[in-house]
Amino acid sequence: MVNVVVGVTGSVAAYRAPDLCRELERRGHAVRVVATESALRFVGRDALGLAAEEVVTELTERAEHVRLAEWADAVLIAPATLNTLAKLAHGVADTPVTLTALASLGAGKRLIVAPAMAEPMYRSPPARRALRRLREMGVTVVPPRIEEGKAKLAGLEDLVRAVEGELAGVRVLVTGGPTLEPLDDVRVLTNPSSGRTAALICEQLRAAGAEVILVHGPLRVEAPADERVEVRTTEEMLEEVRRRIGDVDAIVMAAAPADFRPRERAEGKLDSRSRHTVELVPTPKIVEEVFPEFDGVKVAFKVDPDPVEGARRLLERVPCDLVVANPPEALGSESSEWWILDREGRVVRRVRGPKVRLARALRDLLIERLGGG
């Protein structure tokens, strides 16, 4: 299921928006609408309200555009007028639709535009420049149907397919966050992983239409997923992943499981005024346990002081389609630098900056390998 915000602007094709919303809901997606004042000249608010769970036509101090952008997996502007396209291309946020769309881009969500206007306007240099600029920003453009001198809104099937995304029908298991290995009844061995990378990967995969199962330790961030399974220890994470490998098309091992556990867990609480000697033993390596028996697309993360060479050493031991070479300082941070290697050990992507860029790069590479199921 995809959370969709349908943006409706002032084209005569706005009358088709209720049918679009109903078709999206019939396919199992959750739909909310944001409309401009001009759009309401061509389609009634009541008609939109009967086809969607919420209709926003003006913004208040509650910042509805931010709430909608956070809720959405994808924002579809259908119909999109030339005026709206030009505003989006240049960051003009003066309507509920453009505000919501730009906020969604800033939140890392997928933005789709479906132009509808007279054919000469669609062919005009300003329209071509706006669409080119939007594509460069990562916006998906659903081309119109050219008929009778008009650039008519694309068909419902094309619009729904764009919303459902390139990974529609694909199931992906993602692991995230740290695990906790008990030392006694109140203390644990763990690491500074926040789970943010896994959360962003889930967000990007769901926006592309994938069904996402998240198996995770304690998270310090919200993580969208169709199914969430919380665990504490590395052994529990291994068990939950193993239980599901027959039902998924890809696994993304973005978790940072604890590498060691105490050989013996102390009863009660260790006396903090005394010295204690703790013997540590390795925990299971989930990637090494699971990937050799999994037939789908396998994505591993490798933390190493020498990230690329560490990833190549992992590839010598474990079959992986992709490995994210992860420097230690990336754990718990907001941004970093990563290298993504293919199964031959070649660097296919180098990513710098906030973690959402890494999530988008992985989404694109999974789309290449899975092709929408």
Query: 188 pLDDT exceeds 60?
Result: yes
Is the same domain home to 304 and 348?
A: yes
Is the same domain home to 158 and 180?
A: no
- Mean pLDDT of the chain, nearest integer: 93
DSSP 171-214: EEEEEESB--EESSSS-EE-----SHHHHHHHHHHHHTT-EEEE
d(CA 8, CA 2): 18
Vertex 199: Cα angle to 163 and 169 (nearest 5): 35
pLDDT at site 373: 44
Is the same domain home to 347 and 328?
A: yes
| Domain-ending residue, one of 147, 164, 181 | 164
Is the same domain home to 135 and 226?
A: no
pLDDT at site 209: 80
Is the same domain home to 181 and 155?
A: no
- Tell me the percentage of the chain whose pLDDT exceeds 90: 79
Neighbours of 202 (CB within 10 A): 28
Residues in the chain: 373
CATH number at residue 43: 3.40.50.1950
Q: How far is CA 236 from CA 215, 233, 284, in A?
A: 10, 5, 10
pLDDT at site 84: 97
| Domain of residue 68, residue span | 3-164
Is the same domain home to 102 and 49?
A: yes
- Count: domains in the chain: 2
CATH number at residue 260: 3.40.50.10300
Give mean pLDDT, residues 133-145.
89
d(CA 174, CA 213): 6
d(CA 82, CA 59): 22
Is the same domain home to 116 and 248?
A: no
Give mean pLDDT, residues 174-197.
93
Query: 46 pLDDT exceeds 90?
Result: yes
Query: 108 pLDDT exceeds 90?
Result: no
Phi, psi of 241, deg, nearest 5: -65, -45
pLDDT (tens digit, 9 = 90+) per residue, 205-235? 887 888 899 999 999 888 888 899 999 999 9
Is the same domain home to 156 and 222?
A: no
Give mean pLDDT, residues 23-44.
95
Q: Which long-range contacts (CB under 8 A, 24 or more apart) does 68-71 make?
A: 68/5, 68/32, 68/34, 68/100, 68/103, 68/104, 69/5, 69/100, 69/103, 69/104, 69/106, 69/107, 69/109, 70/107, 71/3, 71/5, 71/32
pLDDT (tens digit, 9 = 90+) per residue, 273-297? 999 999 999 999 999 999 999 999 9
Work out the widest C-alpha separation in the chain, in whole angstroms. 86
Residue 344 confidence class, pLDDT cut points 50, 70, 90: very high
| Domain-ending residue, one of 145, 164, 183 | 164
Q: Among residues 314, 315, 296, which one has the least CA distance to residue 366?
A: 296
Query: 146 pLDDT exceeds 60?
Result: yes
Is the same domain home to 180 and 33?
A: no
pLDDT (tens digit, 9 = 90+) per residue, 289-333? 999 999 999 999 999 999 999 999 999 999 999 999 998 887 777
Q: How far is CA 353 from the centre of its chain?
A: 17
| Domain-ending residue, one of 139, 164, 189 | 164
Is the same domain home to 213 and 348?
A: yes
d(CA 124, CA 145): 16
Is the same domain home to 240 and 135?
A: no
Is the same domain home to 143 and 204?
A: no
